[in-house]
Amino acid sequence: MKQEKKLKVGILFGGKSGEHEVSFCSASSIIGAINPEKYEVTPIGISKEGYWLSPEKSRQALLTGRVEGKETVCWESKTDKHQFIIVDHQDSNLSCSFLEKLDVIFPVLHGPYGEDGTIQGLLELMNIPYVGSGVTASSLAMDKELMKKIFLQEGLPQTRWLMVKRKRWKNEPESVLAEIEKKMHYPLFVKPTNLGSSVGVSKVKKREGLAAALDKAALYDRKVLIEEGIENIIEVECSVLGNDEPEVSVIGEIKPAGEYYDYDAKYMDENTQLIIPAGIPDKVVQQIQRISKLAFLAIDAAGFARVDFFVQKRKKSYWIYLNEINTIPGFTRVSMYPKLWEKSGIGFSELIDKLIQLGLERYQDRLLNKKDYPSKLLQK
Ligand SMILES: Nc1ncnc2c1ncn2[C@@H]1O[C@H](COP(=O)(O)OP(=O)(O)O)[C@@H](O)[C@H]1O
Ligand SMILES: [Mg+2]
């Protein structure tokens, strides 16, 4: 029997965001699990400075965790101690030629400059199929303010929130503080609008801490988001898979080690627990699954996304608040996104296979538009 030609898959990892380390681990997990009979993998590492590495250097980085004597960051490492700083200017020139030879790219880049539509835009321009959401959905999901506006339009349940621009905070702090206190009750959560991994996020219990929290978030972003904090929450997450008709997984629960799910609870503290399935009644599960699907469709996401919620129990009823949608969720063997699918009957390798196929399908869909375009113009 003639063996079918293997599909050439590029795995983009690393990247310029604070989630560089997590991406490194997600990519290693994917490369370790991808079906070698069906796919030929080319790893493409991006350094913290944004330089693209040749496949050889990327492979070396993944295998050894060390490049040119500098230790590459990994799961347990503190970001400020280890950096992925291999810079070879010639590699950047190489990158275009090897990118063009790939059949599909799986961007395993979390956070800004990877999950936010920038890489997706580059791949669109290069006309290369890729896994996951397109430019618009990726950007919307990364900007917490715009994401909330879309969810509001769709009538999805959220906490009360307010966005303040850094310029306004610097110019009229008293009016900003007064507006926040008029519209919301403590505790508050103050966050940079475009970031992830809880970087720059503060929980504020009273006025004394508010200005410092706004200053901190404003270090990371020109837009700061202030949210009313929900107390005594059960944090739950749902995995979504598909394009125009997405499917949803069982629901998982996060039990953060600290007071809330901050950076340390996410990546450092082994006491953070993932509980699958979450300990909430079936009716609440169904609502969360329904809202997850609506959130995915609301931003026009594609391929995969993890939708995160806060659930609050008040006497006998449960209140659901949609927190956010992540278009490139953590993808290590122990991450919530693949674990939820595993529990729903789709194993890690099969999941990767499905995501690649969904990426190709979406590319085909776009090709149809392109064919239509010139003839429509001619008809005018
Ligand atoms: N409004 C809120 N009420 C209660 N907890 C919150 C609220 N906003 C954020 N948190 C806590 O902070 C964590 C990080 O916030 P999140 O908005 O998810 O930021 P990131 O995009 O960095 O993950 C959440 O997982 C949750 O534990
Ligand atoms: Mg979050």
The mean pLDDT of 276-288, rounded to a whole number, is 97
Q: Which atom of ligand 1 is nearest to the CA of 161?
A: 1
Check pocket membership of 237 for ligand 1, CB cut-off 6 A.
no
pLDDT exceeds cutoff 80 at 46 = yes
Nearest-ligand number for the alpha carbon of 227 = 1
User: What average pLDDT does the segment 91-112 reach?
Assistant: 74
- Report yes or no: 86 and 65 within 8 Å, Cβ to Cβ: no
Mutate to test the pocket of ligand 1, among 261, 266, 273 (most ligand atoms within 8 A of CB): 261
Q: Per residue in 178-200, pLDDT tens?
A: 999 999 999 999 999 988 778 89
320 near 226, Cβ under 8 Å?
A: no
Average pLDDT over residues 288-317: 97
CATH superfamily to which 160-228 belongs: ATP-grasp fold, A domain (3.30.1490.20)
197 lines ligand 1 (CB under 6 A): yes
Q: Is 297 exposed, middle or buried (0-12, 13-18, 19+ CB in 10 A)?
A: middle
**Do the Cβ atoms of 357 and 363 come closer than 8 Å?**
no
Q: Which letter does DSSP use for residue 268 in this model?
A: T
What angle do helix axes 55-64 and 20-33 make, rounded to 10 degrees?
Answer: 90
In whole angstroms, give the CA distance from residue 304 to residue 133.
7
Identify residue 88 by its one-letter amino acid code: D
Span from the CA of 355 to the centroid of ligand 1 (angstroms): 27
Q: Tokens 């206190």 map to which residue?
A: 181
- What's residue 98's pLDDT? 62
Asked if residues 154 and 317 have their Cβ atoms less than 8 Å apart, the reply is: no
Index of the ligand 1 atom closest to the CA of residue 227 = 1
pLDDT of residue 304: 98
The answer, yes or no, to whether residue 69 has pLDDT greater than 70, is no
pLDDT in tens, 317-354: 999 999 999 999 999 988 999 999 999 999 999 999 99
- The correct CATH number of 231-358 out of 3.30.70.20, 3.30.470.20, 3.30.460.10, 3.30.360.10 is 3.30.470.20
Does residue 39 or residue 68 have the better pLDDT?
Answer: 39
The tokens describing 327, both together, are 């278009």
Q: Which CATH class is domain 7-130?
A: alpha beta
Q: Is 235 in the pocket of ligand 1 (CB under 6 A)?
A: yes
**What confidence category does residue 75 fall into, taking pLDDT thresholds of 50, 70 and 90?**
very low
Q: How confident is the model at residue 84 (pLDDT cuts 50, 70, 90)?
A: very low
260 lines ligand 1 (CB under 6 A): yes
The b/e string for 77-103 (b: 16+ C-beta within 10 A; e otherwise) is bebeebbbebebeebeebbeeebeebb
pLDDT interval class at 242 (50, 70, 90): very high
Up-side HSE of residue 306: CA atoms within 13 Å toward CB? 21
Residue entry with tokens 């618009």: 136
306 vs 271, which has greater pLDDT?
Answer: 306
The residue-averaged pLDDT of 63-72 equals 50
- Tell me the pTM: 0.90
Q: What is the pLDDT averaged over residues 312-316?
A: 92
Q: Residue 137 pLDDT > 90, yes or no?
A: yes
pLDDT the model gives residue 80: 37
User: Mean pLDDT over residues 223-249, rounded?
Assistant: 97
Q: Could you check whether the bond before residue 374 is cis, i.e. omega within 30 degrees of 0? A: no
Whether the pLDDT of residue 254 is over 70: the answer is yes
Nearest to 4 by CA among 28, 35, 32: 35
Q: 198 CB less than 6 Å from ligand 1?
A: yes
Q: Given this model, what pLDDT does residue 112 score? A: 86
**Is residue 309 within 8 Å of 293, Cβ to Cβ?**
no
Please say if the pLDDT value at position 276 is more than 70: yes
pLDDT at 117 over 70: yes
* Contact yes or no for 14/109 (Cβ under 8 A): yes
Q: What are the boundaries of each domain within the chain?
A: 7-130, 160-228, 231-358
Query: Which residue has the least CA distance to atom 26 on ligand 1?
Result: 261
| Position 145 pLDDT exceeds 90 | yes
Among 108-112, 327-331, 360-364, whose mean pLDDT is lowest? 108-112
Q: Give the rounded distance of the alpha carbon of 221 from its chain centre.
A: 17
pLDDT category, 261, cuts 50, 70, 90?
confident
Q: How far is 241 from 355, CA to CA, in rounded Å? A: 8
3-state helix, strand, coil in the chain (%, to 5): 40, 25, 35
Collapse the DSSP code of 195 into the 3-class scheme (helix H, G, I; strand E, B; otherwise coil) and give the result. Answer: coil
**pLDDT level of residue 60 (50, 70, 90 thresholds):** confident
Do 298 and 322 contact (CB within 8 A), yes or no? Answer: no
DSSP class per residue in 145-185: HHHHHHHHHTT-----EEEEEHHHHHH-HHHHHHHHHHH--
Mean pLDDT over the full length of the chain: 87
CA distance 15 to 8: 21
Measured CA to CA, the distance from residue 248 to residue 293 in angstroms comes to 7
Stretch among 13-17, 143-147, 155-159, 228-232 having the lowest mean pLDDT: 13-17
Which helix or strand (DSSP H or E) is residue 338 part of?
A: helix 336-343
Q: Residue 131: is its pLDDT beyond 60?
A: yes
Which residue did the predictor score with more confidence, 212 or 83? 212
- Token readout for 133 is 């959401």
Is residue 114 within 8 Å of residue 328, measured between CB atoms? yes
Is residue 19 in contact with ligand 1, taking CB distance under 6 Å?
no
Q: Is 329 in the pocket of ligand 1 (CB under 6 A)?
A: no
Strands 104-107 and 7-14: parallel
**How many other CB atoms are there within 10 angstroms of residue 185's CB atom?**
9
| Residue 290 pLDDT exceeds 80 | yes
pLDDT value of residue 73: 37
> How many angstroms does the Cα of residue 137 sit away from the middle of ligand 1?
20
pLDDT the model gives residue 193: 94
SS3 43: strand
Gap between the terminal Cα atoms of the chain: 51
**Residue 71 confidence class, pLDDT cut points 50, 70, 90:** very low
- pLDDT bin (cut points 50, 70, 90) of residue 89 is very low
Nearest to 243 by CA among 295, 293, 301, 298: 301
**For residue 143, how far is its CA from the centre of ligand 2 (angstroms)?**
12
